[in-house]
């Protein structure tokens, strides 16, 4: 009997032999890229869905969004976080952020007020609803509302790399206090996550080590991860992290942390480790492999060779392939070519 995509995912995650690795796309792209997804699903493409399984109720902030149009005709979205001690503002053009919430050191105090005294509760129905929509076509991962660890939320979402790096390097007290407050929120989130049916969880760290260096990684992230693992020990839930950049200088530290998987792992030139190096370094971790976007522009025979080589180097199980950074521009040709390649990975020399 032919296994469903869900069954193939679960077999691979469990460490069972995987003759035909799953190739799947993030649900965000299915919802936000207007292409003929059904034709690709009919050929065997799967989905990786994400359910936010906790929610925050924040008594000290009102978030107001307005949608408009900028002079060029692009959709502009403005978001205001309004508290009793001040207001923060961010702006987007289309999908792209143009302005961060935190622009000066005093803004960390406003953000701390916005996040303080939050009530956090599990939302198990969000997982069930996502699973019902998925059926047997893929797998659902549980996520927190903050989605990343505090350090990464601040760097990526709230302050931006430049502002955050300057303030961290100069020891801005308001930033350090906010990191501590947000770490506590993260731990409370995972206490709530442990009460949900999500078996596999994801942190959207978007980590590439050149944005912080190994010293800050050890100081600010490793202790947080270790506390999260302690919180999840009783529930038995597995944690995967979206690490899509350069990792070589912290590869040994990653090996010592009990992540179940590394999500959107990308070979050079986007990343700095090949699949063979990743598998040798992390023999037991699930590798969510992201084929380089440049591969999709190659002729079919070269694309097929790269895909099969990646799968052989990943081993007999504990891996899949994914569309997780962007949809290939030549998707009508390239995605079916990958699916054909995966149908005969084992039989080829």
| Span 243-294, pLDDT tens digits | 999 999 999 999 999 999 999 999 999 999 999 999 999 999 999 999 999 9
Query: Does residue 252 form part of some domain?
Result: yes
Query: Does residue 347 form part of some domain?
Result: no
Query: Does residue 192 form part of some domain?
Result: yes
pLDDT category of residue 349 using cuts at 50, 70 and 90 = very low
For residues 219 and 242, give the distance between their C-alpha atoms in angstroms, rounded to a whole number: 19
pLDDT category of residue 330 using cuts at 50, 70 and 90 = very high
Instruction: Give the pLDDT confidence score for residue 208 in this predicted structure.
Output: 84
Query: Does residue 217 form part of some domain?
Result: yes
| Span 102-114, pLDDT tens digits | 999 999 999 999 9
For residues 165 and 51, give the distance between their C-alpha atoms in angstroms, rounded to a whole number: 31
* CATH code for the domain of 236: 3.20.20.210
Query: Does residue 65 form part of some domain?
Result: no
| Span 227-243, pLDDT tens digits | 999 999 999 999 999 99
The proportion of the chain whose per-residue pLDDT surpasses 70, expressed as a percent, equals 98
User: Mean pLDDT of all residues in the chain?
Assistant: 95
Closest C-alpha among 129, 143, 125 to residue 193: 143
Q: Is the pLDDT of residue 63 over 80?
A: yes
Query: Does residue 54 form part of some domain?
Result: yes
- Report whether 267 contacts 228 (CB < 8 A): no
- Report whether 37 contacts 327 (CB < 8 A): no
Give the count of domains, the chain: 1
Q: Is the pLDDT of residue 346 over 70?
A: no
Query: Does residue 39 form part of some domain?
Result: yes
Instruction: Give the pLDDT confidence score for residue 18 in this predicted structure.
Output: 87
User: Which residues neighbour 130 within 8 Å (Cβ) at sequence distance 6 or greater?
Assistant: 49, 50, 51, 140
Q: Which residue has the tokens 């050929």?
A: 43
- Report whether 260 contacts 200 (CB < 8 A): yes
Q: Which domain holds residue 170?
A: 5-58+118-342
| Span 111-170, pLDDT tens digits | 999 999 999 999 999 999 999 999 999 999 999 999 999 999 999 999 999 999 999 999
Query: Does residue 12 form part of some domain?
Result: yes
């Amino acid at each position: 009997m032919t296994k469903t995509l869900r069954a193939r995912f679960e077999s691979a995650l469990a460490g069972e032999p995987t003759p035909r690795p799953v190739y799947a796309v993030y649900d965000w792209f299915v919802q936000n890229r207007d292409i003929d997804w059904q034709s690709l699903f009919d050929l065997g493409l799967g989905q990786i869905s994400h359910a936010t399984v906790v929610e925050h109720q924040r008594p000290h902030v009102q978030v107001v969004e307005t949608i408009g149009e900028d002079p060029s005709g692009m959709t502009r979205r403005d978001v205001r976080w309004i508290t009793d001690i001040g207001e923060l503002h961010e702006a987007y053009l289309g999908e792209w952020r143009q302005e961060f919430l935190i622009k000066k050191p005093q803004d960390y105090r406003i953000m701390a007020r916005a996040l303080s005294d939050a009530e956090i509760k599990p939302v198990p129905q969000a997982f069930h609803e996502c699973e019902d929509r998925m059926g047997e076509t893929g797998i659902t991962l549980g996520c927190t509302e903050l989605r990343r660890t505090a350090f990464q939320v601040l760097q990526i979402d709230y302050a931006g790399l430049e502002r955050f790096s300057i303030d961290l390097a100069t020891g801005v007290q308001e930033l350090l206090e906010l990191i501590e407050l947000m770490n506590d929120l993260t731990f409370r989130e995972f206490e709530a996550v442990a009460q949900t049916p999500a078996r596999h969880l994801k942190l959207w760290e978007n980590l590439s080590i050149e944005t912080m260096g190994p010293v800050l990684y050890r100081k600010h992230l490793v202790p947080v991860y270790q506390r999260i693992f302690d919180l999840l020990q009783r529930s038995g839930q597995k944690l995967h992290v979206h690490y899509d950049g350069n990792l070589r200088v912290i590869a040994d530290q990653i090996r010592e942390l009990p992540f179940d998987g590394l999500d959107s792992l990308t070979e050079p030139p986007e990343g700095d480790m090949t699949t063979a190096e990743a598998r040798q370094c992390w023999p037991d971790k699930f590798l969510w492999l992201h084929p380089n976007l440049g591969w999709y522009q190659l002729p079919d025979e070269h694309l097929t060779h790269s895909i099969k080589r990646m799968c052989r180097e990943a081993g007999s199980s504990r891996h899949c392939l994914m569309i997780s950074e962007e949809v290939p521009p030549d998707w009508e040709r390239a995605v079916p070519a990958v699916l054909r390649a995966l149908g005969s990975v084992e039989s080829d020399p």
